[in-house]
Structure 1
Amino acid sequence: MEKAFLIYPDRCIACRACQVACKQWNQLPAESTVNWGSYENPPGLSFHTYTQIHFHELKTEQGIEWLFLKRQCYHCTDAACMLVCPTAAIEKTPEGVVVLHQEKCIGCKYCVYLCPFEVPQFDQASRKVSKCNFCYERISMGLIPVCAQVCPVAAIRFGDRNELLQQAKSSGSGYKYIYGEREVGGLHVMFALKFPPEKYGLVAHPKVSNALFWWRRLCPPLFGAGIGFALLGVTVRLFRRKISCREESKEEASSL
């Protein structure tokens, strides 16, 4: 049975109890931050931050409305990170959870460059990557993920994926968009939205390159000759260049 989150951003009060609980359960250290002009803290995901509440302002006829979005690994059905990992450090469980086994990670950063949501975070000191594992050790014991357990307004619902989808689509729910139903083969972290996904800072049309699927099928037999890794390296280099250009554009825009 596939498990999932159904998150209701309109219920979120940005208390960030989920952030604190995630830190405590995973024994992650606090991070030193600075005032960068936003109520968000920390400013994004990192090697030591698996989930983060993103603040977004939306101008409406009634004035400014705050939109809060829980950022984390979305546990894609067609997980690019799992497809490109050369050491099988990332696996997908029967529940649909994409689990990272950090002890197998060699720091190649293929998952970092090819994730359509820019979720995996690389640590220069340890040469490892980290991300949310959906509290899989809790799920395997019949418990719910800690962030869902501590949410004081039930903005994070955990359960059977199909049942959660039915709830979101039920008549009178008032939600125009169910993000994650089909994106990247179907996400296991879904959102019931009243506005278009991009208004919350979500990727409107996330895609996994078709080249990755061909690489997965054709290249493993060639690994002995090193050709498979060479082809993957070219693909990663192209994605790195694309990401670098995007970051440079952001820096230029912020300096205007």
Structure 2
Amino acid sequence: MGFFTDTSVCIGCKACEVACKEWNGVPGSGLDLLGMSYDNTGALTANSWRHVAFIEQPRPSGHGSAPFTGTPTGGTASAASATVAAGTTGPTGTQPGLPPGSPPAAARMSVGDQDGAGVSVGDHGGATGGPVDVLGAPFAAGPAGGSAAGASNAAGRGTADAPPATGRAAGPEFLGMPGAQPPGRGTGVEGRTDFRWLMMSDVCKHCTHAACLDVCPTGSLFRTEFGTVVVQEDICNGCGYCISACPYGVIDQRRGDGRAWKCTLCYDRLGAGMTPACAQACPTESIQYGPLDELRERAAVRVATLHGRGVSEARLYGHDPNDGVGGDGAFFLLLDEPEVYGLPPDPVVTTRDLPAMWKRAGLAALAMAAATVVAFAGRSS
């Protein structure tokens, strides 16, 4: 049994984090602003067994370099949501009470060419002629006009009768995320950025060949009948060997306690025939629980679907039973390289080379002993 996490449908709501803490009685954390991200959890810790990572990568508007490497470059907002966010009258799509944005800010919400003529975000259609999301799926018409023409009118450019564009123009590309200011509230080009925001609900990988289990001197770590790896906190002596052994940096010691803590994959719920709390709480089914073979088949179909929609960067991570840890009990569908998500590209169980190391050490000891014998024999003669 294990997890398959599809990051392409993760919305970053952190419901899984809350459910994990609530069910397992994990102390509160992540309440302080990090000052570098909207993700205030920061990492997997002894007090955060689930971590919804935010990968926020801005770039200045209008720069001349290539789009983000290894990521879909289509608009991440529908025509309807872009119209609301970019409007110069009415709601801005941020929160009640905020005044509407300025016309220049609204103009920057659409893709423009070199001479200033622009094409609104919603004008880029897919095979159906309508707006498409980051995965190539068409959006339906929505509020605030719900059309590309609405976005063009909101920016003071174009009419409802304007023909749809057939391709992207050069210039700033709106990727659905604002800069530091709420949408439409920036005062200049520097107030806006092209932005991508990837999200991934990270967790212990429950490796098939678990180094943490191998190095534990007290037997605190054990493999359950479900194939998961669990820490028994009443046996843990706080030595910390498992922390340095984990190739993913998952396990952590609780401050003031000293013992190691991590995801148990809700061992008590599994024993009662229940779904783990995080998977139960996920509103988009980004976190899926079940037999690993079934999950791998489902994941392969999902990757093929994304590739068919043009998302060639979609890939699986941790699913291969022949990798350095024998496959993970919790694997992922990623939309970029593992390093972008802070994951090691080629994880290896840290105890894998121990037999070879002991063998080489033994050979070295024998060689030294032989050299010593030869030296003494030569001196005696």
Q: What is the 5 A alignment of 1:186-225?
A: 186-210=327-351, 213-214=354-355
- When the two chains are superposed, the root-mean-square deviation of aligned CA atoms in Å is 2.2
Residue 201 of structure 1, CA deviation? 2.2
| Counterparts of residues 135-154 of structure 1 (less than 5 Å) | 135-154=266-285
Range with bigger deviation, 168-177 or 132-141 = 168-177
Identity across matched positions, percent: 35
Structure-1-length-normalised TM-score: 0.78
Cα offset, 1:127, TM superposition: 1.9
CA contact (8 A) 1:91 1:99 kept: yes
**Which is richer in helix?**
1
The AA in structure 2 aligned to 1:53 is V
Distance in 2, Cα, partners of 1:212 & 1:51: 30
The TM-score normalised by the length of structure 2 is 0.53
Is the 2:231–2:261 Cα contact (8 Å) retained in structure 1? yes
Whether contact under 8 Å (1:5, 1:159) holds in the other structure is yes
C-alpha spacing 1:49/1:194, structure 2 compared with 1 (3 Å): closer
Asked if the contact 1:80–1:212 (Cα under 8 Å) also holds between the matched residues in 2, the reply is no
In structure 1, how many angstroms separate the alpha carbons of the residues matched to 2:335 and 2:18? 27
Give me the whole-angstrom Cα distance separating, in 1, the residues matched to 2:41 and 2:334: 24
User: Match of 2:203, as an amino acid?
Assistant: Q
> Whose Rg is larger?
2
SS at match of 2:7: coil
Alpha-carbon distance between aligned partners in 2 of 1:74 and 1:47, rounded to the nearest angstrom: 15
What is the CA–CA distance in structure 2 between the aligned matches of 1:97 and 1:12, rounded to whole Å? 24
Q: Secondary structure at the match of 2:305?
A: coil
* Distance in structure 1 (CA, Å) of the matches to 2:351 and 2:241: 15
Identify unmatched segments of 5+ residues in structure 1: 219-256
Tell me how far 1:210 sits from its aligned partner: 4.5
Partners of 1:46 and 1:192 lie apart in 2 by: 22
- The alpha carbon displacement at 1:177 in A equals 1.7
Match of 1:95 in 2: 226
Distance 1:162 1:129, change over 3 A: same
Q: Is contact 1:72-1:132 (8 Å) kept?
A: yes
AA at the equivalent of 1:180: G
Structure 1 segments of 4+ aligned residues over 4 angstroms from their partners: 210-213
Contact 2:37 2:56 in 1 (8 A): no
Residue 321 of structure 2 corresponds to residue 178 of structure 1: no
2:222 matched to 1:81?
no
8 Å CA contact retained: 1:89, 1:101:
yes
Write the distance in 2 (CA, Å) between the matches of 1:46 and 1:201: 15
Deviations 1:132-168 (A, max 9, x none): 0000110111101000001111111111100110111
Residue type at the aligned position of 2:215: V
Distance 1:213 1:136, change over 3 A: farther
Once residues 331 and 11 of structure 2 are traced to their aligned partners in structure 1, the CA distance between those partners, rounded to angstroms, is 18
Of residues 68, 74, 78, the one that matches 2:199 is 68
Contact 2:211 2:351 in 1 (8 A): no
Q: CA deviation at 1:47?
A: 1.8
Shifted more, 194-203 versus 128-137: the winner is 194-203
SS at match of 1:99: strand
Give structure 2 stretches of 5+ with no counterpart: 58-67, 75-174, 176-194, 308-313, 360-381
Report 1:118-129 matches (<5 A). Answer: 118-129=249-260
Considering fraction of residues, name the structure with more strand: 1
Q: In the TM superposition, what is the alpha-carbon distance from 1:170 to its structure 2 partner?
A: 2.4
The number of aligned residues is 216
